[in-house]
Amino acid sequence: MSQDIMALLEKLPKNLAAEVRESIDSRGLGAADARILGRAYVKQVDVAIARWDRGPELILSTKAMSSSFGKNLSNRFEEAYGDAANLRGRYPLAAVGFGFVQRGTIVRDEPGAFARTIDMMRKLRDRGDGHGYTTTALVLVDWDDEDPAGTARLVEEQVPDDLGVAQFMKTLIATILEATPIDEHVRVRELYENRFIPLEESRGPLGDS
């Protein structure tokens, strides 16, 4: 549920808050598709953190590919670059990330396509013109087609460190913190910077500060 709605519910009498929450849930207003208006078109993304008084702070998009890598790779990256320009064009301060999931068989079966994947994942990043992604991540997964459980495993050893999930999350967090005042996301800052910050979290227009 939206942080703003939660803040409103906290200020209402208990019985009224329960009625409002039930109404929100029954109408499907508490959760919705993350549809973000970009510079040129509305884009449905996979993860978004936003508040009505500041707009999106975090926008994540993902794509997946499990076969026909060389055949479809160019189309995937054309779509991804267009989405980056669309979102960054309207929200230049937001942390905009792109995660690409591929089946690990690409390393063995189509090494040329895998080399192109690594190269393009790096080229999708912002080079200072404000059009690329804040950061990108490549995730390789594999599974046994004969396994009835369909158990998947990560193939982390084949992914370069600069395209790994660890740097991806670190860059996104750092970008959000750099773009907001120190009294926003206080607890996150304390954990990220490993220090105590003698400030209370700003609650925005619905809060006391």
Mean pLDDT of the chain: 89
β-pairing, 55-65 vs 47-51, is antiparallel
Residue 50: what pLDDT? 86
The whole domain housing 143 covers 48-164
pTM equals 0.83
Q: Please tell me the total count of domains within the chain.
A: 1
Q: Does residue 141 fall inside a structural domain?
A: yes
The token pair at 151 is 């158990």
On the question of pLDDT at 16 being above 80, the answer is yes
DSSP for 119-154 reads HHHHHTB--SSS-SBSEEEEEEEEE-TT-TT--EEE
Q: How confident is the model at residue 208 (pLDDT cuts 50, 70, 90)?
A: very low
Residue 28: what pLDDT? 62
Helix (H, G, I), strand (E, B) or coil at 163: helix
Q: Does residue 75 fall inside a structural domain?
A: yes
β-pairing, 135-143 vs 95-103, is parallel
Residue 146: what pLDDT? 84
Q: What is the pLDDT of residues 29-44, one digit of tens each?
A: 655 678 899 999 999 9
| CB 90 within 8 Å of CB 37 | yes
Mean pLDDT calculated for residue range 157-181: 96
Residue 166: what pLDDT? 95
Q: What is the pLDDT of residues 117-157, one digit of tens each?
A: 999 999 999 988 888 999 999 999 999 888 888 788 999 99
Residue 56: what pLDDT? 92
Q: What is the pLDDT of residues 63-86, one digit of tens each?
A: 999 988 988 999 999 999 999 999
Q: Which residue type does 133 have?
A: Y
pLDDT more than 70, % of the chain: 92
Q: Which residues on neighbouring strands pair with residue 55, listed in sequence order?
A: 51
Mean pLDDT calculated for residue range 46-59: 88
Residue 209: what pLDDT? 32
Residue 207: what pLDDT? 41
Q: Does residue 151 fall inside a structural domain?
A: yes
Q: Does residue 76 fall inside a structural domain?
A: yes
Count the Cβ atoms, other than its own, within 10 Å of residue 97.
25
Q: Does residue 193 fall inside a structural domain?
A: no
Q: How far, in Å, CA of 201 to CA of 178, rounded?
A: 16
CA dihedral 6, 8, 14, 19 (to 10 degrees): -80
